[in-house]
Structure formats: C-alpha cells, structure tokens
Amino acid sequence: MVKKIFHLVLLATISFARWASAQDKTTSDIFALSEQQLKGMVAFLGDTNLSPRCTNHDGSIRLVRPNDWTSGFFPGCLWYQYEYSNDPYWRVQAEKHTRYIVREQFNGKTHDMGFKMYCSFGNGYRLTNNKEYKEILLQSAKTLITRYNPKVGCLRSWDHNADKWQFPVIIDNMMNLELLFWATRETGDSTYYRIAYNHALTTLKNHFRADFSSYHVIGYDTATGNVLQKHTHQGLHHESAWARGQAWGLYGFTMAFRETGDESFLEMATNIARYIINHQRLPVDGVPYWDFDDPSIPNAPRDASAAAVICSALFELSGYIENEKESFLKFAEKVFLSLSSAEYLAVQGTNNYFILKHSTGHMPKNDEIDVPIIYADYYFLEAALRREKK
C-alpha cells in the first residue's frame, strides 16, 4: 500500500515537472503578453479616471474610484511595463493613470496609502526622478502617519466596523510601511522610520501563531495597547490561515528586513516562507487555495494573487539568506512557471485585459471569487522583473 502511494506521488511529481517545463515561459514572453493586455486595457479605459480592479459576477470589468485601495496597481503595472521595455509610450500611459489618483495623498481615512501611492508614484519616482512625485509621496507619508497610535505601537488599518474593533490592525498593513521607510531615506527625518519600525515590531509580537501562520485582524485597546481580539475578516474563520494574509506577511517582513537590517524580521520572513512552502494543503503547482484551512480543499478556489505576492517576495528573500537560498529560489521559480502556464495566464485579448486568472479577493463576502484581480498582475510583473535580475 505504502509502495503504491509512493509510486502515485512520484508519478504526479514527474508529470507536473514535465508539464511545467513544456509550458516554460521566459520573462520576455510574459512582457510581450502584458504589453498587449495593458494596451487593450488602456484603450478600454480611454480618459476615465477610474481604475480596473477585477471581473464582476456578470463578466464585466469592475472600475473603481481613486480612493479604492487597489487604485495604484494599474498605474503600477504600466510603470513596470515601462521599466521592462523603456518604451516612452508606456511612460506616457503610466504618467496619465498615475496622475488620476494624485488627491489620495491627502486621504487620511485609510491605511492603504502605500498600496495606492508607492505602487504608482513610488515606481514613477524611482524610474523618472520626477521631483513633483517626490513631494506627493512625502505628503502621502505625512498623511499616513496621522493614523499612528504610540500606545498601541501601530498604524490603524480600518475605520469601518467600529462596533467590532476599537483599533484594528491587519497583516496587510505591513505593505504600507515601505513608503515610510522611503520617506526617512529621502528627508533624513527619522519619524517615519520609527513609526514603521514600531509597527513591524508590534505586528511581529501579536499577529503570529506558534506555527508562524498569521491572524488577519488584531484589535487593540487604545488606552492600554493590549490585544482585545484576534480575528479574521477575509479568511474562513478566526483561527484559519487566509492565503493572501500569509503572503502579505512574507512580503512585508522581507521588506522590513531590507529597510532596517533587523534580524528578527528576517527570521520571521524565513519562518513564514517555510510555513507556506511546507504546507500539506499547498497544491503541487504552488498556487495556494484562498485559505489554507478551507475543508472543501481540493475543491476550494485558488488565489493567484497570493501566489504572485509570495513569488515576488521569495525572489527577494532568497537574496538575504544562505542556507535555504536554493530551496526558496526553486519554489519561487516553480510558482512563477505555474502562473505563466495556460492554467493561470490569459490568452491575449481575453480575460478582460487582465494578465492572470484565478484570484480570490473576498470569499466571505462572496465577491471576487476565482477571477482576474489587478494586484495579482502587479505582483506577477514585479516578480518577473525580480527574476530577470537574479
């Protein structure tokens, strides 16, 4: 019996390896496809200041206003296309769609400032050195730190559901710290750095379970700084491991190590990576189900966006470690090739001009299930660029 199972597993592994190598795409294949998909999207959008987020239930493209947390990803994709191609056409398009969200620099009602502004203006500044972008980014950082509470040691994530949480902090919030680290580098003012560093330390302390999976939402008491709730909002239940949350943690602590050199952040990123890679319910292609604890696995929907974030993070993390460098790189490469296969990659001119298929945004709300979502595309293009530099 044991022998039979061993043979079955071996066969499945060999056929996956054969299938994957037959499908192998190069980085230039990916950018050739994204060029066509993005061109289609640019033409579809015309002069609207709305941004494409995902495919709706009825098959149409969901467009969102600049204040939506995902509004920076489409301009970000355009910047990555420009970075890869150096074609001035993409710079013009990226500048146009970046400009649409400029007012978000003053929006203090959300923690999503980094997602919105660093993926758009941040990439734009990195690639063009446009001084106006720098000022916009600095104002964005100033606005973001108004959400910091020194008693808690964190930036507040959401203002909604005030009846549930006094001061909610979600694991996703790690992603917004990059803007603050950048602001200290640019200005020499350590305020931004200290806030980002404290936020990461508090998250390290409170967001993780013994197995290094993370909670989605930690609710804090603003008077004492104590933890009141350990919850989920987008996962299956409070004790489950929501796949994208694990991805944000991995990416966030890798970036926090890059920015601070704090070894405890590197250790956490490494532990999260091990948790994901060795998970028994991770499919053989490395693209996770939307929640690692969904009892309907293997029939649960996948989340290609989580895979794209994990892939990009691991290309970076593998550069910081010696022992597991090869295994992390190998896994990142496997995920990249899976996402580049016909199962996940759009056929040119289809998929509502998005690049990847099969992401899951908000399962408990019955929304964005097994559809293309813009942030999957953004982190996939980022992963392709990082892979190219390896």
Which residues belong to the active site? Answer: 112, 172
Nearer to ligand GLY by C-beta: 83 or 172?
172
Return d(Cα 166, Cα 154) in angstroms, integer: 13
Nearest distance from residue 275's CB to ligand GLY, in Å? 18
Cβ pair 119, 75 in contact under 8 A: yes
- In terms of Cα–Cα distance, which of 365, 268, 247 is closest to 313? 247
Residues in the interface with ligand GLY (CB under 6 A) total 5
Residue 302 near ligand GLY by CB under 6 A: no
31 or 69: whose CB is closer to ligand GLY? Answer: 69
Q: Is 303 in the site for ligand GLY (CB under 6 A)?
A: no
Q: Taking CB under 6 A as the rule, does residue 291 contact ligand GLY? A: no
**Which tokens hold the place of 179?**
């803007």
Instruction: Determine which residue in the list 114, 168, 235, 361 makes contact with ligand GLY, applying CB under 6 A.
Output: 361
Query: Which CB atom, from 20 or from 114, has the smaller least distance to ligand GLY?
Result: 114
What is the widest separation between alpha-carbon atoms in the chain? 67
Min CB(127)–ligand GLY separation in Å: 25
Cα separation, 226 vs 29, in Å, equals 50
Query: What values do phi and psi take at 354, rounded to 5?
Result: -80, 165
- For ligand GLY, the binding residue among 199, 231, 244, 386 (CB under 6 A) is 244
**DSSP assignment string, 86-154:** --HHHHHHHHHHHHTTGGGGG-TT-STHIIIIIIIIIHHHHHH--HHHHHHHHHHHHHHHTTEETTTTE
Across 122-136, b (16+ Cβ under 10 Å) vs e yields bbbbebeeeeebbeb
Q: How far is the CB of 181 from ligand GLY (least distance, A)?
A: 19
For ligand GLY, which residue has the nearest CB? 172
Least distance from ligand GLY to the Cβ atom of residue 305, Å:
8
Q: How far is the CB of 300 from ligand GLY (least distance, A)?
A: 17
Whole-angstrom distance, CA of residue 168 vs CA of residue 216: 10
Residue 216 in contact with ligand GLY, rule: CB under 6 A: no
DSSP state of 235: S
Could you tell me the smallest distance in angstroms from the CB atom of residue 361 to ligand GLY?
A: 6
- CB nearer to ligand GLY: pick between 98 and 234: 234
Q: Is the bond into 298 cis (omega within 30 degrees of 0)?
A: yes
Q: Considering only residues 172, 259, 285, 316, which one is a binding residue for ligand GLY as defined by CB under 6 A?
A: 172
Comparing CB distances to ligand GLY, the nearer of 81 and 173 is: 173
Determine if 124 is a binding residue for ligand GLY (CB under 6 A): no
User: Which secondary-structure segment (H or E) carries 335?
Assistant: helix 325-339
Would you say 233 or 387 has its CB closer to ligand GLY? 233
- Scanning residues 47 to 76, which ones bind ligand GLY (CB under 6 A)? 69
CB–CB of 212/270 below 8 Å?
no
Q: Rule CB under 6 A: say whether 235 interacts with ligand GLY.
A: no
Q: Binding marks (x or -) toward ligand GLY, 315..354, rule CB under 6 A?
A: ----------------------------------------
Write out the H or E segment, with its range, that includes residue 389. Answer: none
Classify the C-alpha dihedral 223-226-230-232 as positive or negative. Answer: positive
- Provide the total of helices (H) and of strands (E) in the chain, helices listed first: 14, 7
User: Which lies closer to ligand GLY via its Cβ, residue 37 or residue 234?
Assistant: 234
Provide the binding-site residues for ligand GLY, judged by CB under 6 A.
69, 172, 234, 244, 361
